Amino acid sequence: MSELYLLTTIADRRLLPRFVSLYQDRGIQVNLITLGYGTVSGAGAAMFLNQSEKAVCFALVTMETWREAKRGLRQSLKIDVPGVGIAFLVPVSSIGGRRELAFLTDGQSFTRGEESELKGTERELIVIIGNQGYNELIMDAAREAGAYGGTVVHARGTGMERAEKFLGISLASEKDMIFIVTKTSQRDRIMQKIMMQAGMETPAKAIAFSLPVTDTAGLRLLDDEDEDKVPAAPAAEPAQ
């Protein structure tokens, strides 16, 4: 059984082509790239990432593929040298659809097994990748299934020419990434609703997957609202 992880890489924008090339040489398809900038200053800047422009890229990997890529990051790109970049993994809980899974893991040996490495988490982060400009369609579907809200990040998809091989369609490069934190019990319902109303058969062309969340803060109001919605238990019948 293989486990699947979201590989997130943060690096200086000028170094991004070298990271992408290294990953592709090892069968890792970088699916999304978004831009940002470092915020660390003072003494910490030398150790981590300074205030230069950054690129963040995302890919799904197996542990076997990651181990090979990690060796390359250390040997070829010297990632352990301060300021070069950082890369980290987060276990994936589930993928919305078999075709979408094949598209996201193209080039890697992956055998689908149990869906989550972290068991018993109360919340999940659903990540939706859709064509830019359709975030309201996606969020309307998510809200119908019980989601409260989401956060949208603009990104650029790479390797979109591979989509026709797995999905039978062409995909636009400009993407929206939408992040929704929800209860684990609501995850499947929300993802299914999104795939039905904003999936590959719609203009949004959305793909969804989820990541386990081990702890949260700032969601107590939503928990209280959920408790208010729970119907009261029926009164006990009087003893005869």
SS (H, E, C) 64-107: HHHHHHHHHHHHCCCCCCCCCEEEEEEECCEECCHHHHHHHCCC
CB 19 within 8 A of CB 99: no
Instruction: Tell me the residue type at 41.
Output: S
Query: What global pTM score does this model have?
Result: 0.76
Query: What are the counts of helices (DSSP H) followed by strands (DSSP E) for the chain?
Result: 8, 9
From the first residue on, what is the mean pLDDT of each consecutive set of 10 residues in the chain (240 residues)?
80 89 88 76 49 83 91 92 87 84 74 55 90 94 92 83 63 87 92 95 93 78 54 43
